[in-house]
Amino acid sequence: MKTRFYATYVSALAFLLLTSCASLRTAAFDQYSYQKGTEIKVDAQRIMDKATMSYASQSEAIENFQSELDKMVEYEKNKPDNQISYAMWKMMANPEKNFIAGFLKRWKDQGTLSSFFITEAKGQVVEALDMILQYEGKKDPAAEKRLKAMLGIQ
């Protein structure tokens, strides 16, 4: 009788512990997210280097890149317990922010960009992508804290 009571008690305690920590859950490491994130980082740098040329001359490569970025946002949106990574990818894809989509919008609006601007913008974009990749690779509290600070969330 005592064994049954303890088994029920331990099961109930385990259930409560697991469900009460639901808000603390983070998506597990995802090789696809890490690999695609790395590919996007490399492709972003290549495209940004070409911004001294006319936007029109690179429009096909830009469209392909934007398509890959949109796919990544959609993929991250549908992963469970993935609010932080999803928010970062949404920010990267937002043309009103100073990340890769904002860079591409500015390039389109101005036709070409200066080497100085490209270098400065590339530093920002690469740093943000590195933060996403570090978080995706480690899922550690320090990486999560840096992303939350960038996103302005607690």
pTM of the model: 0.79
Residue 26 CA, distance from chain mean position: 14
Calpha distance 103→97 (Å, rounded) = 8
Q: Could you give the dihedral angle defined by the CA atoms of residues 102, 106, 108 and 112, in that order, rounded to the nearest 10 degrees?
A: -130
Mean pLDDT, the chain, as a whole number? Answer: 86
Tracing tokens 């480690």 back to the chain, one arrives at 138
Q: What is the mean pLDDT of residues 101-118?
A: 98
pLDDT, tens digit (0-9, with 9 covering 90-100), for 128-147 = 999 999 998 887 888 888 88
Q: Do 33 and 136 touch, CB atoms closer than 8 A?
A: yes
Where residue 148 falls among pLDDT bands split at 50, 70, 90? confident
Report helix, strand or coil for 136. helix
pLDDT, tens digit (0-9, with 9 covering 90-100), for 20-77 = 444 445 567 789 999 999 999 999 999 999 999 999 999 999 999 999 999 999 999 9
Calpha distance 123→53 (Å, rounded) = 19
Residue 101 CA, distance from chain mean position: 13
Query: Packing angle between helix 115-138 and helix 141-151, nearest 10 degrees?
Result: 140
Tracing tokens 């200066």 back to the chain, one arrives at 114
Calpha distance 85→129 (Å, rounded) = 11
